[in-house]
Amino acid sequence: MQWEQVLAPRMGRMKASEIRELLKLLDQPDIISFAGGIPDPALFPVAAFQAALTAALAPGKADSALQYSVSEGYLPLRQWLADHMAGLGIPCGVDNILITSGSQQALDYLGKLMIGPKDTVLVNWPTYMGALGAFNAYEPVYDRLDPRDNRGAAEYEVAAAEAGGRVKFAYLSVDFANPTGETIARADRERVLDLAEALGAAVVEDAAYQALRFDGDPVPPILALEIARKGSIEDCRTIYCGSFSKTLAPGLRVGWVCAASPVIGRLVLMKQAADLHSSTLNQMAIADVAAASFDAHVAGLRAVYRARRDHMLAALAREMPAGVLWTKPEGGMFVWITLPEGMDGADLLARSLETERVAFVPGRAFFADGSGGNTIRLSFSRADEAAIDEGIRRLGRLIAAG
């Protein structure tokens, strides 16, 4: 069978995730990994999930836990999320919530919902590579979104028309972004809303790391800012994507979308066609653990990850040679490194794995145009202090050698 003859053209835009490949290195005991932006499994609330799963499979509940269910998601979890969103300044009802199989599925659905071939998606430079992977199948054109520059709606519209489509939405990882660790300021969030309104476009707000703030004052979500303008979520163009993967358990694959009910209704149709519904058992367990201990558990995560971030920043200041720059995130899991001009992150990784046994993610994959060769992403979420000290020492030595 010559499979190339029957594959859709969009398959040419779908590439293997560099992070998924690098995660395989975690099984090699001599590798110090700053690669995967994944939670430390030692911090999972295992006992709480054991109790929640036992309760979900008890007589009287097991029939529901193991049966088909509604595509919108488990109602008690959606009710908890509606209350959670209200605490973020986003008053909404259960009809504004859809449960997805992680926020990655939400990004795929939103790409399918809005992108036609040659339509434009506005993204940061760099941006989350998983978003690019999700959107690529729908054959968009990417344009650079920087709320701090002077580009107006007309300039974006002209560029989109020349590419053969129109601007459909702006995508932003808003708090402690993957990959840079940076947070979009309130004024810049407001400017994105102004731009989207002028373009008649949507805003996709990726809030996967929002709960992991270590320092500074919280910034209202873009959806909260828009509700303050419009008065109701039903009048808003912003679509909020959340996830329990960074806070409770990534393996259960539970995320959510919060948006105006007409958007949720269309996403429900996609859910019905794709996988009917996310795992009911997993949703029940998440709902139980979240209701019992979400805030306390996340506070514990913040304390551990804050200490690791501080340790990595101190090690970078101590070990990096002149000409290397890095971000100083207020939360999340990532530090973004800019290497000296002419140094390539992918080449550095190859040498690092061979000689220093330190893994990280080259930056080029986070740029829609394949630029950013002299950047890398480090994650501090899984490394203890000793690993951070030794890994950054080795990496600094390698960079200094050129």
* Residues 19, 98 share a domain: no
Digit-coded pLDDT (tens) for 306-325 = 999 999 999 999 999 999 99
| Domain that residue 273 falls in | 46-293
Within 10 Å of residue 212's Cβ, how many Cβ atoms?
23
- Each of the 402 residues of the chain gets a pLDDT tens digit; together they read 888 878 887 777 766 666 556 666 656 788 999 998 899 999 999 999 999 999 999 999 999 999 999 999 999 999 999 999 999 999 999 999 999 999 999 999 999 999 999 999 999 999 999 999 999 999 999 999 998 888 999 999 999 999 999 999 999 999 999 999 999 999 999 999 999 999 999 999 999 999 999 999 999 999 999 999 999 999 999 999 999 999 999 999 999 999 999 999 999 999 999 999 999 999 999 999 999 999 999 999 999 999 999 999 999 999 999 999 999 999 999 999 999 999 999 999 999 999 999 999 999 999 999 999 999 999 999 999 999 999 999 999 999 998
Domain boundary among 242, 258, 293: 293
pLDDT at 19: 59
Q: Are residues 279 and 131 in the same domain?
A: yes
The owner of tokens 């030692």 is 42
Same domain, 138 and 278: yes
Regarding whether 176 and 110 lie in a shared domain, the answer is: yes
Q: Is the peptide bond before 220 cis (omega within 30 degrees of 0)?
A: no
Same domain, 134 and 275: yes
**What CATH number does the domain containing 340 carry?**
3.90.1150.10
Residues 171 and 90 in one domain: yes
Pairing of strands 97-100, 141-144: unpaired
**DSSP calls for 316-372:** HHHHPPTT-EE---SBSSEEEEEPPTT--HHHHHHHIIIII-EE-EEGGGGSTTS--
Residue 251 in tokens: 């393996």
Q: Are residues 99 and 234 in the same domain?
A: yes
Structure tokens of 24?
């395989």
Output the domain CATH number for residue 100.
Answer: 3.40.640.10
What's the rounded Cα separation, in Å, for the pair 5 and 96? 42
Q: Indicate whether 332 and 349 sit together in one domain.
A: yes
Query: Are 252 and 379 contained in the same domain?
Result: no
- In order of 39, 96, 282, the CA distances from 248 in angstroms are 9, 22, 12
Please report which residue ranges of 44-141 form alpha helices under DSSP H: 46-56, 62-65, 75-87, 102-114, 129-136
> What's the predicted TM-score (pTM) here?
0.95
Verify that 40 and 149 share a domain, yes or no. Answer: no
Number of domains in the chain: 2
The alpha carbon torsion through 152, 158, 159, 165 (nearest 10 deg) reads 120
Question: Last residue of some domain: 232, 260, 293?
Answer: 293
